[in-house]
Amino acid sequence: MAVNGKIALVTGAAQGLGRGFCEILLKNGAKVALLDVNKEVGNDLKASLDKEFGPDHTLFLTCDVTSEDQLSDAYQKTLEKFGKIDIVCNNAGIANERDWEKAVAVNLVAVVRSTYLALQHMKKQNGGQGGLIVNIASMAGLGPLLTSPVYTATKHGVVGFSRALAEASEACDFGVRLKVLCPTFVRTAIISTLSSEEYMGLFSCLHGFTEQMIGMFGMLEVPQVAEAFLQLVVEEGKNGSVLMVTPEITSYVEFPKSPTDVLSGNPSPSAPGSSPQ
Ligand SMILES: NC(=O)C1=CN([C@@H]2O[C@H](COP(=O)(O)OP(=O)(O)OC[C@H]3O[C@@H](n4cnc5c(N)ncnc54)[C@H](O)[C@@H]3O)[C@@H](O)[C@H]2O)C=CC1
Ligand SMILES: CC/C=C\CC(=O)/C=C/C=C\C=C\C=C\[C@@H](O)[C@@H](O)C/C=C\CCC(=O)O
Protein backbone atom coordinates (compact mmCIF):
# COMPACT_ATOMS: atom_id res chain seq x y z
CA MET A 1 0.00 0.00 0.00
CA ALA A 2 1.40 3.40 -0.93
CA VAL A 3 1.58 5.51 2.22
CA ASN A 4 1.32 8.97 0.66
CA GLY A 5 -2.12 10.47 1.30
CA LYS A 6 -3.23 7.61 3.53
CA ILE A 7 -4.81 7.96 6.99
CA ALA A 8 -3.33 5.86 9.80
CA LEU A 9 -4.33 5.19 13.39
CA VAL A 10 -1.60 4.06 15.81
CA THR A 11 -2.16 2.94 19.41
CA GLY A 12 0.54 3.44 22.01
CA ALA A 13 1.79 6.24 19.77
CA ALA A 14 3.30 8.59 22.36
CA GLN A 15 6.70 6.94 22.73
CA GLY A 16 8.87 3.99 21.82
CA LEU A 17 7.97 1.93 18.79
CA GLY A 18 4.59 3.62 18.39
CA ARG A 19 6.28 7.01 18.02
CA GLY A 20 8.70 5.51 15.51
CA PHE A 21 5.86 4.05 13.46
CA CYS A 22 4.01 7.40 13.44
CA GLU A 23 7.10 9.35 12.39
CA ILE A 24 7.93 7.05 9.48
CA LEU A 25 4.31 7.17 8.29
CA LEU A 26 4.32 10.98 8.44
CA LYS A 27 7.67 11.17 6.62
CA ASN A 28 6.09 9.11 3.83
CA GLY A 29 3.08 11.39 3.45
CA ALA A 30 0.44 9.86 5.69
CA LYS A 31 -1.70 11.63 8.26
CA VAL A 32 -1.83 9.91 11.65
CA ALA A 33 -4.17 9.63 14.62
CA LEU A 34 -1.99 9.19 17.69
CA LEU A 35 -3.73 7.24 20.45
CA ASP A 36 -2.15 6.87 23.89
CA VAL A 37 -3.15 6.68 27.54
CA ASN A 38 -0.28 9.03 28.44
CA LYS A 39 -1.79 12.46 27.85
CA GLU A 40 1.29 14.50 28.77
CA VAL A 41 3.76 12.61 26.59
CA GLY A 42 1.21 12.40 23.82
CA ASN A 43 0.60 16.14 23.79
CA ASP A 44 4.36 16.77 23.80
CA LEU A 45 4.72 14.47 20.78
CA LYS A 46 1.85 16.21 19.00
CA ALA A 47 3.53 19.60 19.55
CA SER A 48 6.81 18.26 18.21
CA LEU A 49 5.18 16.69 15.15
CA ASP A 50 3.19 19.88 14.46
CA LYS A 51 6.48 21.75 14.10
CA GLU A 52 7.86 19.18 11.66
CA PHE A 53 4.78 18.22 9.64
CA GLY A 54 2.16 20.93 10.36
CA PRO A 55 -0.85 20.83 12.71
CA ASP A 56 -3.22 19.16 10.26
CA HIS A 57 -1.18 16.01 9.76
CA THR A 58 -1.75 14.53 13.19
CA LEU A 59 -4.48 14.19 15.79
CA PHE A 60 -3.60 13.19 19.36
CA LEU A 61 -6.34 11.43 21.29
CA THR A 62 -6.00 10.42 24.89
CA CYS A 63 -7.21 6.83 24.85
CA ASP A 64 -6.88 3.86 27.16
CA VAL A 65 -7.18 0.99 24.71
CA THR A 66 -8.63 -1.24 27.45
CA SER A 67 -11.71 1.01 27.49
CA GLU A 68 -14.22 -0.01 24.83
CA ASP A 69 -15.84 3.44 24.94
CA GLN A 70 -12.56 5.36 24.68
CA LEU A 71 -11.33 3.20 21.81
CA SER A 72 -14.58 3.47 19.89
CA ASP A 73 -14.66 7.22 20.52
CA ALA A 74 -11.09 7.57 19.23
CA TYR A 75 -11.99 5.79 16.00
CA GLN A 76 -15.02 8.08 15.62
CA LYS A 77 -12.98 11.24 16.21
CA THR A 78 -10.36 10.02 13.71
CA LEU A 79 -13.02 9.52 11.06
CA GLU A 80 -14.52 12.95 11.83
CA LYS A 81 -11.11 14.60 11.44
CA PHE A 82 -9.71 12.71 8.44
CA GLY A 83 -12.78 11.16 6.79
CA LYS A 84 -11.36 7.63 6.54
CA ILE A 85 -8.88 5.14 8.02
CA ASP A 86 -6.61 3.17 5.68
CA ILE A 87 -4.02 1.77 8.09
CA VAL A 88 -4.33 0.70 11.74
CA CYS A 89 -1.29 -0.25 13.85
CA ASN A 90 -2.24 -1.94 17.11
CA ASN A 91 0.99 -1.27 18.96
CA ALA A 92 0.08 -0.42 22.59
CA GLY A 93 1.52 -3.07 24.89
CA ILE A 94 2.91 -3.61 28.36
CA ALA A 95 4.99 -6.18 30.22
CA ASN A 96 3.68 -7.03 33.68
CA GLU A 97 3.71 -10.59 35.03
CA ARG A 98 2.48 -9.43 38.42
CA ASP A 99 -0.64 -7.64 37.15
CA TRP A 100 -0.97 -10.19 34.37
CA GLU A 101 -4.65 -9.53 33.83
CA LYS A 102 -3.78 -5.96 32.86
CA ALA A 103 -1.21 -7.28 30.41
CA VAL A 104 -3.84 -9.53 28.84
CA ALA A 105 -6.27 -6.59 28.66
CA VAL A 106 -3.79 -4.31 26.90
CA ASN A 107 -1.78 -6.76 24.79
CA LEU A 108 -4.55 -9.07 23.58
CA VAL A 109 -8.13 -8.02 24.42
CA ALA A 110 -7.53 -4.45 23.22
CA VAL A 111 -5.78 -5.65 20.06
CA VAL A 112 -8.78 -7.84 19.21
CA ARG A 113 -11.21 -5.01 19.99
CA SER A 114 -9.26 -2.44 17.94
CA THR A 115 -8.86 -4.88 15.06
CA TYR A 116 -12.61 -5.46 14.97
CA LEU A 117 -13.27 -1.71 15.12
CA ALA A 118 -10.89 -1.23 12.20
CA LEU A 119 -12.58 -4.04 10.28
CA GLN A 120 -15.98 -2.45 10.90
CA HIS A 121 -14.83 0.81 9.30
CA MET A 122 -12.67 -0.67 6.53
CA LYS A 123 -14.54 -3.64 5.12
CA LYS A 124 -16.15 -3.26 1.70
CA GLN A 125 -19.45 -4.73 2.93
CA ASN A 126 -19.86 -1.66 5.15
CA GLY A 127 -19.03 0.76 2.34
CA GLY A 128 -15.40 0.89 3.35
CA GLN A 129 -12.42 1.06 0.99
CA GLY A 130 -10.58 -1.88 2.54
CA GLY A 131 -7.30 -1.34 4.37
CA LEU A 132 -4.37 -2.79 6.29
CA ILE A 133 -4.10 -3.73 9.95
CA VAL A 134 -0.61 -4.28 11.40
CA ASN A 135 -0.59 -5.90 14.83
CA ILE A 136 2.59 -5.64 16.88
CA ALA A 137 3.48 -8.95 18.52
CA SER A 138 7.05 -9.93 19.44
CA MET A 139 9.56 -12.71 19.00
CA ALA A 140 7.87 -13.88 22.22
CA GLY A 141 4.86 -14.45 20.00
CA LEU A 142 6.80 -17.15 18.18
CA GLY A 143 8.51 -18.94 21.06
CA PRO A 144 8.19 -19.05 24.87
CA LEU A 145 10.00 -16.32 26.83
CA LEU A 146 10.30 -18.13 30.17
CA THR A 147 10.62 -14.92 32.22
CA SER A 148 7.25 -13.80 30.81
CA PRO A 149 4.67 -16.55 30.40
CA VAL A 150 1.64 -14.26 30.26
CA TYR A 151 3.36 -11.77 27.94
CA THR A 152 4.27 -14.77 25.78
CA ALA A 153 0.65 -15.91 25.81
CA THR A 154 -0.62 -12.47 24.74
CA LYS A 155 1.87 -12.22 21.88
CA HIS A 156 1.18 -15.78 20.71
CA GLY A 157 -2.47 -14.77 20.81
CA VAL A 158 -1.84 -11.72 18.64
CA VAL A 159 -0.01 -13.86 16.06
CA GLY A 160 -2.66 -16.59 15.99
CA PHE A 161 -5.62 -14.18 15.99
CA SER A 162 -4.14 -12.03 13.21
CA ARG A 163 -3.27 -15.00 10.98
CA ALA A 164 -6.70 -16.58 11.43
CA LEU A 165 -8.53 -13.30 10.81
CA ALA A 166 -6.41 -12.65 7.71
CA GLU A 167 -7.68 -15.93 6.25
CA ALA A 168 -11.25 -15.13 7.28
CA SER A 169 -11.01 -11.63 5.76
CA GLU A 170 -9.81 -13.10 2.46
CA ALA A 171 -12.58 -15.75 2.49
CA CYS A 172 -15.22 -13.11 3.24
CA ASP A 173 -13.74 -10.68 0.67
CA PHE A 174 -13.61 -7.86 3.25
CA GLY A 175 -10.81 -6.13 1.33
CA VAL A 176 -8.81 -5.88 4.57
CA ARG A 177 -5.35 -7.38 5.04
CA LEU A 178 -3.70 -8.20 8.35
CA LYS A 179 0.04 -8.47 9.05
CA VAL A 180 2.12 -9.04 12.19
CA LEU A 181 5.47 -7.59 13.30
CA CYS A 182 7.64 -9.67 15.65
CA PRO A 183 10.70 -7.76 16.84
CA THR A 184 13.22 -9.04 19.34
CA PHE A 185 14.37 -6.66 22.14
CA VAL A 186 14.15 -2.94 21.24
CA ARG A 187 15.67 -0.10 23.29
CA THR A 188 12.48 1.46 24.71
CA ALA A 189 10.91 2.10 28.11
CA ILE A 190 9.50 -1.43 28.26
CA ILE A 191 13.03 -2.79 28.65
CA SER A 192 13.52 -0.92 31.90
CA THR A 193 10.50 -2.69 33.40
CA LEU A 194 11.96 -6.12 32.78
CA SER A 195 14.17 -6.15 35.88
CA SER A 196 11.59 -4.50 38.14
CA GLU A 197 9.89 -6.47 40.91
CA GLU A 198 6.50 -5.41 39.56
CA TYR A 199 7.21 -6.85 36.11
CA MET A 200 8.88 -10.04 37.25
CA GLY A 201 6.06 -11.13 39.61
CA LEU A 202 6.47 -14.88 40.33
CA PHE A 203 9.69 -14.93 38.33
CA SER A 204 11.95 -12.51 40.19
CA CYS A 205 14.16 -15.59 40.73
CA LEU A 206 14.91 -15.38 37.01
CA HIS A 207 16.37 -11.87 37.13
CA GLY A 208 19.48 -11.85 35.03
CA PHE A 209 17.98 -14.29 32.55
CA THR A 210 16.60 -11.35 30.57
CA GLU A 211 20.12 -10.00 30.23
CA GLN A 212 21.17 -13.39 28.89
CA MET A 213 18.32 -13.29 26.37
CA ILE A 214 19.27 -9.77 25.34
CA GLY A 215 22.81 -11.03 24.92
CA MET A 216 21.48 -13.90 22.81
CA PHE A 217 19.05 -11.91 20.63
CA GLY A 218 20.64 -8.47 20.67
CA MET A 219 19.04 -5.05 21.08
CA LEU A 220 17.36 -3.22 18.21
CA GLU A 221 16.91 0.55 17.94
CA VAL A 222 13.46 1.99 17.17
CA PRO A 223 14.38 3.27 13.66
CA GLN A 224 15.38 -0.26 12.61
CA VAL A 225 11.97 -1.60 13.61
CA ALA A 226 10.20 1.38 12.03
CA GLU A 227 11.85 0.55 8.69
CA ALA A 228 10.61 -3.04 8.98
CA PHE A 229 7.12 -1.73 9.80
CA LEU A 230 7.22 0.44 6.66
CA GLN A 231 8.24 -2.62 4.63
CA LEU A 232 5.15 -4.44 5.94
CA VAL A 233 2.91 -1.48 5.08
CA VAL A 234 4.14 -0.80 1.54
CA GLU A 235 4.50 -4.42 0.44
CA GLU A 236 1.42 -5.39 -1.58
CA GLY A 237 -0.39 -8.63 -0.84
CA LYS A 238 1.18 -10.83 1.88
CA ASN A 239 -2.07 -10.97 3.81
CA GLY A 240 -1.50 -12.88 7.04
CA SER A 241 2.28 -12.50 6.87
CA VAL A 242 4.46 -12.34 9.98
CA LEU A 243 7.71 -10.37 9.82
CA MET A 244 10.45 -11.12 12.35
CA VAL A 245 12.99 -8.37 13.09
CA THR A 246 16.37 -9.04 14.71
CA PRO A 247 19.65 -7.07 14.64
CA GLU A 248 20.98 -9.60 12.14
CA ILE A 249 18.01 -10.20 9.86
CA THR A 250 14.49 -9.06 9.00
CA SER A 251 12.59 -11.92 7.43
CA TYR A 252 9.11 -13.34 6.97
CA VAL A 253 8.29 -16.31 9.19
CA GLU A 254 7.49 -19.56 7.37
CA PHE A 255 4.81 -21.46 9.30
CA PRO A 256 4.03 -25.16 8.72
CA LYS A 257 1.07 -25.63 6.37
CA SER A 258 -0.59 -27.81 9.05
CA PRO A 259 0.07 -28.16 12.79
CA THR A 260 0.64 -31.87 12.18
CA ASP A 261 3.72 -30.94 10.11
CA VAL A 262 5.58 -30.26 13.33
CA LEU A 263 4.97 -33.67 14.88
CA SER A 264 8.08 -35.61 15.85
CA GLY A 265 8.71 -38.80 13.85
CA ASN A 266 7.89 -41.16 16.74
CA PRO A 267 4.15 -41.21 17.52
CA SER A 268 3.15 -42.74 20.86
CA PRO A 269 2.08 -46.42 20.45
CA SER A 270 -1.21 -45.44 22.11
CA ALA A 271 -1.81 -42.78 19.54
CA PRO A 272 -4.76 -43.71 17.34
CA GLY A 273 -3.62 -44.98 13.95
CA SER A 274 -0.02 -45.34 15.07
CA SER A 275 1.61 -48.52 13.95
CA PRO A 276 2.87 -50.82 16.80
CA GLN A 277 6.61 -50.34 17.43
N1 LIG B 1 10.63 -2.96 23.31
C2 LIG B 1 10.75 -4.24 22.98
O3 LIG B 1 11.75 -4.93 23.30
C4 LIG B 1 9.65 -4.90 22.22
C5 LIG B 1 8.35 -4.39 22.22
N6 LIG B 1 7.38 -5.08 21.54
C7 LIG B 1 6.00 -4.56 21.53
O8 LIG B 1 5.99 -3.28 20.91
C9 LIG B 1 4.90 -2.51 21.39
C10 LIG B 1 5.38 -1.14 21.83
O11 LIG B 1 6.24 -1.35 22.92
P12 LIG B 1 7.41 -0.31 23.28
O13 LIG B 1 7.39 0.84 22.34
O14 LIG B 1 8.64 -1.09 23.44
O15 LIG B 1 6.91 0.14 24.73
P16 LIG B 1 6.82 1.57 25.40
O17 LIG B 1 6.49 1.29 26.83
O18 LIG B 1 8.01 2.38 25.07
O19 LIG B 1 5.55 2.25 24.68
C20 LIG B 1 4.30 1.70 24.85
C21 LIG B 1 3.29 2.82 24.63
O22 LIG B 1 1.99 2.26 24.81
C23 LIG B 1 1.25 3.11 25.67
N24 LIG B 1 0.24 2.35 26.40
C25 LIG B 1 0.43 1.44 27.38
N26 LIG B 1 -0.75 1.00 27.84
C27 LIG B 1 -1.71 1.64 27.14
C28 LIG B 1 -3.13 1.63 27.15
N29 LIG B 1 -3.80 0.87 28.04
N30 LIG B 1 -3.79 2.40 26.27
C31 LIG B 1 -3.11 3.18 25.39
N32 LIG B 1 -1.77 3.26 25.34
C33 LIG B 1 -1.09 2.49 26.20
C34 LIG B 1 2.27 3.73 26.62
O35 LIG B 1 1.78 4.92 27.19
C36 LIG B 1 3.43 3.95 25.66
O37 LIG B 1 3.36 5.20 25.03
C38 LIG B 1 4.28 -3.34 22.53
O39 LIG B 1 3.16 -4.05 22.04
C40 LIG B 1 5.39 -4.33 22.89
O41 LIG B 1 4.89 -5.52 23.45
C42 LIG B 1 7.65 -6.22 20.82
C43 LIG B 1 8.90 -6.73 20.81
C44 LIG B 1 10.00 -6.12 21.49
C1 LIG C 1 8.89 -9.48 28.25
C2 LIG C 1 8.83 -8.36 27.26
C3 LIG C 1 10.18 -7.83 27.00
C4 LIG C 1 10.50 -7.07 25.94
C5 LIG C 1 9.58 -6.98 24.83
C6 LIG C 1 9.70 -8.13 23.94
O7 LIG C 1 8.71 -8.53 23.39
C8 LIG C 1 11.01 -8.75 23.74
C9 LIG C 1 11.13 -9.94 23.13
C10 LIG C 1 12.47 -10.41 22.81
C11 LIG C 1 12.86 -11.64 22.59
C12 LIG C 1 12.04 -12.81 22.77
C13 LIG C 1 12.66 -14.02 22.55
C14 LIG C 1 11.91 -15.26 22.65
C15 LIG C 1 12.58 -16.39 22.45
C16 LIG C 1 11.86 -17.70 22.49
O17 LIG C 1 11.66 -18.20 21.21
C18 LIG C 1 12.67 -18.72 23.27
O19 LIG C 1 11.98 -19.92 23.27
C20 LIG C 1 14.03 -18.91 22.63
C21 LIG C 1 14.95 -19.42 23.71
C22 LIG C 1 16.16 -19.77 23.44
C23 LIG C 1 16.69 -19.82 22.04
C24 LIG C 1 17.98 -20.52 22.07
C25 LIG C 1 18.76 -20.27 20.81
O26 LIG C 1 18.22 -19.62 19.89
O27 LIG C 1 19.89 -20.73 20.79
- CB of 194 closer than 6 angstroms to any ligand 2 atom: yes
> Model pTM?
0.95
Q: How confident is the model at residue 97 (pLDDT cuts 50, 70, 90)?
A: very high
State which of 96, 106, 139, 154 you would mutate to test the pocket of ligand 2, scoring each by most atoms of that ligand within 8 A of its C-beta.
139
Q: What is the pLDDT of residues 226-255, one digit of tens each?
A: 999 999 999 999 999 999 999 999 999 999
Determine which one of 75, 151, 199, 252 is catalytic. Answer: 151
CA dist 119 and 125 (Å) reads 10
Backbone angles phi, psi at 34, to 5 degrees: -100, 115
- In the three-class reduction of DSSP (H, G, I as helix; E, B as strand; rest coil), residue 10 is classed as strand
Reply yes or no on whether 151 is catalytic.
Answer: yes
Which ligand 2 atom lies nearest to the CA of residue 144? 19
Ligand 1 center–CA 90 separation, angstroms: 10
Q: Does residue 276 carry a pLDDT above 60?
A: no
Overall residue count recorded for the chain in this entry: 277
State which of 21, 36, 96, 161 you would mutate to test the pocket of ligand 1, scoring each by most atoms of that ligand within 8 A of its C-beta.
36
CA dist 31 and 23 (Å) reads 10
